Amino acid sequence: MLRRKHSRLTSRTVPLTFAPSAFKAVALAVAFPRTIASNRSMADSEFAATQWWQTGVIYQIYPRSFQDTPSPSGLADGVGDLPGITARLDYLVSLGIDAIWISPFYPSPMADFGYDVANYTGVDPLFGTLADFDTLLATAHAKGLRVILDFVPNHTSDQHPWFLESRSSRDNEKRDWYLWHDPTQPGDDWQPAKQRIPNNWMSNFGGSAWEWDQHTEQFYLHSFLKQQPDLNWRNPKVRAAIYSAMCFWLDRGVDGFRMDVLWLLVKDEFYRNNPPNPQDLASTLPVFTADQPETHVIVAEMRTLLDSYGDALSENAGAPGPDSRTRASTETTTPNSPHPTPGRVLIGEIYLPLPELVRYYGQPAENTPQLRGANLPFNFHLIQTQWQAEAIAQIIRTYESLLPSGAWPNYVLGNHDQSRLATRVGPQQARLAAMLLLTLRGTPTLYYGDELGMQDIPIAPNQVQDPAEKNDPGKGRGRDPERSPMLWVDAPNAGFTTPTATPWLPLQQDWQTINAATQQRNPKSMLSLYNKLLALRRRHDTLHSGGITDVVAEGNILRYRRTGLPDGHSTDFQILLNFGAETATTLCAPGTVILTTILDGEGSLTGNPDGTSSTITIESGEGLLIALD
């Protein structure tokens, strides 16, 4: 029996697949794991979700593009800044997220827009001052929002004082802080030294990862731009220096770090050539440049350092602690004083197949069940897999079955390196994607503007900013399309900057209708959908902390159940998502539809009065959240 009160129509045909940006395709070389669901029950999470980073939702801010504020002289530069973020915190509170992760704002020549750090303990004047940061942090904390910093440990800027010293001479004290290598031996052709590169390692931005330094006649390694030399993580002094910089921010009260390219930190000590990629002979497999065993030791050290701090919100947040420098310098590479109630989070940017990814949760500490690796190794698999019910069901089941005991899951659907969600899957499916992300078990991370359904913007050749595109034009590596300014209001420059300033990237063309203010007034907008989903996730402990079970694809419908906590007081939920281009039907147990992604028909009943399941119709691209009786 069909008990829905309304019938709804959607007509748009949605693309079923998307092409991940070449940037990540090169960096990742992801092979989908063969493992299919094990028998392990996903219903009972093995430990209660007690930490804010487990029950909460993370929101990524790309500071250049969030909110620009005029300088004291009244001029705006078209680039977002820290006071701009502070000014928009109320929006984030009303949206219903719990934590912001801010992409780098450290002093930088901006060769890679801040991912080339020239000073780990400062703020680039483009973004404001350290005082602006302290204000942002204190204001966020006062509003109950957590602040996670983006930290870039794999490489510095070539303008960082450490690198300037390192490259000054072969016997400089910091020479070994970076990865320097002699040219290979000359062959019969007597190639000049600068052409005899040490091995076949590739930069993730195209070309060789080696750059010749004429002054000292050696090559240095750069996994990204040549302006981003890789640090030598085998050197204990490098580790101590980075941990000290982390303490600088932890002492100020930040709630954790998102560690940039965490799986790339260590490289093969014998500098062996990477093997060719059988699927693409123009590239290699990163066997000796990624996911090296020693990386796990470093991740555990970072975790120990974070755990030595308490919860920043319940402590005296914002005030630099008394023992900051001492803590880092005395504990150097093996900090160890685990705090009884750790409250800071360690997130890793890690693009790896699931079996390798989950190893970044780490091993249990001696005599405790607590894992010692990253709290949240970012799970990007929903971005990388086909946008199709069976593929996604398989990701969820495989991931859940591989999670080690005590590991907390997480999912990401967008970031500043990936084509926008609404562009990849289409606007209608982007609504379904919102329901997927916010009803799965585990911490969701949202990318700014996805709550508005923002799309990739077209970038003309003369508008290109991203070095990934400039270095290797025309191959789709560019990340400018997904970094366009946040759309706030229906006014010139959409409120991102002053009307007369020129935004650093163009605005999405339909800013007059897509902006936050306009969507706030529309009860059926994407923003209203996100608001409702976030409120439901917050309200129901089943959604933010409960189990997940019965994850199956039936044709184009993905279904799963969220199960309540053992106390017996919480509601169970059924989620039904139609990934197909056609209306579809399935069976549903008795319950009440509490949310639909097209925001129509809430309150409809499912199932039969006698307790049996009944047929339910789901429109193309629609998702239903049903509270089970």
Q: Looking at the annotation, which residues are catalytic?
A: 260, 349
Q: How far apart are CA 140 and CA 93, in angstroms?
A: 9
Which CB sits closer to ligand GLC, 112 or 356? 112
Angle formed by the axes of helices 324-331 and 236-252, to 10°? 160
Which CB sits closer to ligand GLC, 178 or 224? 224
Touching ligand GLC, residues 343-402 (CB under 6 A): 349
Q: How far apart are CA 296 and CA 345, in angstroms?
A: 16
DSSP for 576-605 reads EEE-SSS-EEEEE-SEEEEEETTS--TT-E
Smallest gap from residue 110 Cβ to ligand GLC (A): 12
Q: How far apart are CA 14 and CA 40, in angstroms?
A: 34
Which CB sits closer to ligand GLC, 145 or 261? 261
Which CB sits closer to ligand GLC, 27 or 507? 27
Tell me the two tokens of residue 589. Answer: 């147990």
Q: Which of 261, 389, 457, 527 binds ligand GLC (CB under 6 A)?
A: 261
Smallest gap from residue 88 Cβ to ligand GLC (A): 22
Smallest gap from residue 26 Cβ to ligand GLC (A): 11
Which CB sits closer to ligand GLC, 255 or 349? 349
* Residues whose CB falls within 8 Å of the CB of residue 375, separated by 6 or more in sequence, listed in order: 51, 53, 256, 303, 345, 346, 347, 408
Which CB sits closer to ligand GLC, 265 or 624? 265
From residue 133 to residue 162, the character string flagging contacts with ligand GLC as x (rule: CB under 6 A) and all else as - is -------------------x----------
Touching ligand GLC, residues 51-110 (CB under 6 A): none
Length of the chain: 629
Which CB sits closer to ligand GLC, 378 or 488? 378
Residue 575 near residue 435 (C-beta atoms within 8 A): yes
Residue 577 near residue 436 (C-beta atoms within 8 A): yes
Which CB sits closer to ligand GLC, 115 or 177? 115
Q: Which of 224, 257, 380, 579 binds ligand GLC (CB under 6 A)?
A: 224
Q: What is the CA radius of gyration of the chain?
A: 25
Smallest gap from residue 446 Cβ to ligand GLC (A): 16
Which CB sits closer to ligand GLC, 307 or 482? 482
Residue 211's identity, in one-letter code, is E
Which CB sits closer to ligand GLC, 84 or 467? 467
Beta bridge pairs of residue 573: 562, 627
Smallest gap from residue 156 Cβ to ligand GLC (A): 10
SS3 511: helix
Q: How far apart are CA 629 and CA 612, in angstroms?
A: 11
From residue 294 to residue 333, the character string flagging contacts with ligand GLC as x (rule: CB under 6 A) and all else as - is ----------------------------------------
Smallest gap from residue 468 Cβ to ligand GLC (A): 7
Smallest gap from residue 261 Cβ to ligand GLC (A): 5
Handedness of CA 167, 173, 174, 179 (dihedral sign): positive
Does position 482 interact with ligand GLC (CB under 6 A)? The reply is: no
Per-residue b or e along 172-192, where b marks 16 or more CB atoms closer than 10 Å to that residue's CB: eebbebbbbeebeeeeeeeee
Q: Which of 98, 132, 211, 260 binds ligand GLC (CB under 6 A)?
A: 260
Residue 575 near residue 561 (C-beta atoms within 8 A): yes
Give the strand pairing for 210-213 and 218-221.
antiparallel
Touching ligand GLC, residues 439-458 (CB under 6 A): none
Q: Which of 112, 211, 356, 400 binds ligand GLC (CB under 6 A)?
A: 112
Residue 111: other Cβ atoms inside 10 A: 18
Smallest gap from residue 345 Cβ to ligand GLC (A): 17
The helix or strand, by DSSP H or E, that contains position 245, with its residue range, turns out to be helix 236-252
Which CB sits closer to ligand GLC, 98 or 466? 466
278-285: long-range contacts at Cβ-Cβ below 8 A with a sequence spacing of 24 or more?
Answer: 283/26, 283/29, 283/202, 284/200, 284/201, 284/202, 285/29
Does position 115 interact with ligand GLC (CB under 6 A)? The reply is: yes
Which CB sits closer to ligand GLC, 124 or 349? 349
Smallest gap from residue 510 Cβ to ligand GLC (A): 26
On the 0-12 / 13-18 / 19+ scale of CB atoms within 10 A, 496 is buried
Does position 469 interact with ligand GLC (CB under 6 A)? The reply is: no
Smallest gap from residue 258 Cβ to ligand GLC (A): 9
Q: Which of 417, 472, 482, 572 binds ligand GLC (CB under 6 A)?
A: 417
Q: How far apart are CA 367 and CA 568, in angstroms?
A: 31
Q: How far apart are CA 562 and CA 571, in angstroms?
A: 9
Helices marked H in 281-323: 294-307
The number of residues that bind ligand GLC (CB under 6 A) is 9
Residue 428 near residue 453 (C-beta atoms within 8 A): no
Q: How are strands ordered across the β-sheet holding 180-181?
A: 180-181, 218-221, 210-213
Give the strand pairing for 573-578 and 547-554.
unpaired
Q: Which residue is nearest to ligand GLC (CB)?
A: 115
* Residues whose CB falls within 8 Å of the CB of residue 265, separated by 6 or more in sequence, listed in order: 153, 154, 233, 292, 295, 298
Smallest gap from residue 152 Cβ to ligand GLC (A): 6
Smallest gap from residue 466 Cβ to ligand GLC (A): 9
Give the interface with ligand GLC as residue ranges (CB under 6 A): 112, 115, 152, 224, 260-261, 349, 416-417
